[in-house]
Amino acid sequence: MASITIEGVAKRFGEVRALAELDLTVADGEFLALLGPSGCGKTTLLRIIAGLESQTSGRVLIGSRDVSALPPRKRGLAMVFQNYAVFPHLTVYENVAFGLRMAKADKARIAAQVEKTAALLHIEALLKRHPAQLSGGQRQRVAVARALAVEPAVLLMDEPLSNLDALLRLEMRAELKAVLAGAGTTTIYVTHDQTEAMGLADRIAVMHAGRIEQIGTPSDIYDRPATRFVGGFVGSPPMNFLELPVRDGKVDLGGFILAPPSGAGAMLLLGLRGEDVVLAGAGEGGFAFTLKVAELLGPQILLTGTAAGGQPLRIVLSAAGPLPSLTPGSDIALRPDPARLRWMNEAGQALETRP
């Protein structure tokens, strides 16, 4: 069993509180993405799990074994670093073979594993070179190959695809997912790229300022953000939030009356995903959206404007569907999908869990 359990792990660097007391369990074979903005503590948490950094308090278990006091090499895991550290004095072949050599694998097995992993990462033609003779993206792929070659039970990756161009990144993402799922590798994957987290992970832990703000499946995180921070961090465009006063248990969204869940205060936040609106038909009630800018994004059109008393709103319409006038300044009548609204209190905490 190679589950990972984090119990009350906290980390301080002098005055800086990098991690609050975190609890987290990653199941055997699960792919967990740690998602969050720069400086939220992702790398620190990964380095603590790897044993490269010591926690201020709390413990780390791999399977049922407390590894808190063990050095990195005794924890039975492989890691790909954010700065794709590869050994500069070794060739690509020797880099990929490194972990297998350390594990005293025989020559034939090493050769077979290096060949297989190099093919997967498209670095077969680079095996004789040294890292200094590679591009950043190639070096990054060598680092991933070196970690995968040992077929670790636990794999920790810190932004492993950040140096690749968009197309290669997409391709490698799909391959990584297939390989790791096939091998049953327990993986923690750090990224600040929400599409990468959504595409790869079984579950996503969204981190914010040293805490885990929400943990759940990609659809939990996307459809049911627990906080304003999560809704505003995940999605492209991110979730819109409109501040609306509550009167007689109702709110008025620019002429469209909605019934928010009960128990709310005098002011509510309405979380609205840009794709969860449709054009209001003639004679149908809707709310007024004033268009500022329209951008064609392939199959979709992103409309930026305002609603509900000048509050910013971004919506997405299918470029193939019926379209309103896209002249800046136009007023467009929209209907929200009531089932997909996300109500939050003024502090940005979700009011109810939508099924």
Q: Which residues bind ligand ATP (CB under 6 A)?
A: 13, 16, 18, 36, 38-44, 82, 192
**In the block, residue with structure tokens 């090499």:** 73
Contact 152, 85 (CB under 8 A): no
Q: Between 129 and 208, whose beta carbon lies closer to Mg ion?
A: 208
* CA–CA distance, 191 with 200 (Å, rounded to integer): 11
* CA–CA distance, 239 with 107 (Å, rounded to integer): 53
Q: Which amino acid is at 168?
A: L
Q: Between 18 and 239, whose beta carbon lies closer to Mg ion?
A: 18
Q: Which two tokens stand for residue 220?
A: 């939990």
Query: Chain centroid to CA 21: how far?
Result: 21
* Smallest separation (angstroms) from Mg ion to the CB of 135: 21
Select from 32, 35, 40, 43 the one that contacts Mg ion (CB under 5 A): 43
Piece of the chain touching Mg ion by CB under 5 A; list 35-43, 52-60, 272-280, 286-294: 35-43
* Smallest separation (angstroms) from Mg ion to the CB of 59: 22
Q: Residues 6 or more apart from 200 whose CB is under 8 A from it?
A: 31, 33, 173, 176, 177, 189
Q: Between 43 and 186, whose beta carbon lies closer to Mg ion?
A: 43
Piece of the chain touching Mg ion by CB under 5 A; list 6-14, 41-49, 70-78, 303-311: 41-49
Q: How many residues bind Mg ion (CB under 5 A)?
A: 1
* Smallest separation (angstroms) from Mg ion to the CB of 70: 23
Question: For 26, phi and psi rounded to 5 degrees?
Answer: -115, 125
Q: Between 211 and 292, whose beta carbon lies closer to ligand ATP?
A: 211
163 is an interface residue for Mg ion by CB under 5 A: no
Piece of the chain touching Mg ion by CB under 5 A; list 37-45, 215-223, 240-248, 310-318: 37-45
Q: Between 65 and 208, whose beta carbon lies closer to Mg ion?
A: 208
* Smallest separation (angstroms) from ligand ATP to the CB of 105: 32
Q: Between 117 and 187, whose beta carbon lies closer to Mg ion?
A: 187
- Which residue's CB comes closest to Mg ion? 43
| Interaction partner, residue 225 (ligand ATP, Mg ion, none; CB < 5-8 Å by kind) | none
3-state secondary structure 246-306: CECCEEEECCEEECCCCCCCCEEEEEECCCCEEECCCCCCCEEEEEEEEEEECCEEEEEEE
* Smallest separation (angstroms) from Mg ion to the CB of 276: 32
| Interaction partner, residue 41 (ligand ATP, Mg ion, none; CB < 5-8 Å by kind) | ligand ATP
* Smallest separation (angstroms) from ligand ATP to the CB of 166: 19
**Torsion sign over Cα 13, 15, 16, 21:** positive
Q: Between 160 and 254, whose beta carbon lies closer to ligand ATP?
A: 160
Q: Between 63 and 72, whose beta carbon lies closer to ligand ATP?
A: 72
* Smallest separation (angstroms) from ligand ATP to the CB of 49: 12
Per-position DSSP letters for 148-215, written without gaps between them: HHT--SEEEEESTTTTS-HHHHHHHHHHHHHHHHHHT-EEEEEES-HHHHHHH-SEEEEEETTEEEEE
* CA–CA distance, 213 with 190 (Å, rounded to integer): 15
Contact 45, 18 (CB under 8 A): no
Q: Between 16 and 296, whose beta carbon lies closer to ligand ATP?
A: 16
* Smallest separation (angstroms) from ligand ATP to the CB of 200: 17
Q: Taking Cα atoms as reference points, which of 229, 193, 234 lies closest to residue 212?
A: 229
* Smallest separation (angstroms) from ligand ATP to the CB of 350: 24
**Torsion sign over Cα 91, 84, 70, 62:** negative
Q: Omega into 237 within 30° of 0, i.e. cis?
A: yes
Query: Chain centroid to CA 228: how far?
Result: 16
Q: Which residues make up the interface to Mg ion (CB under 5 A)?
A: 43
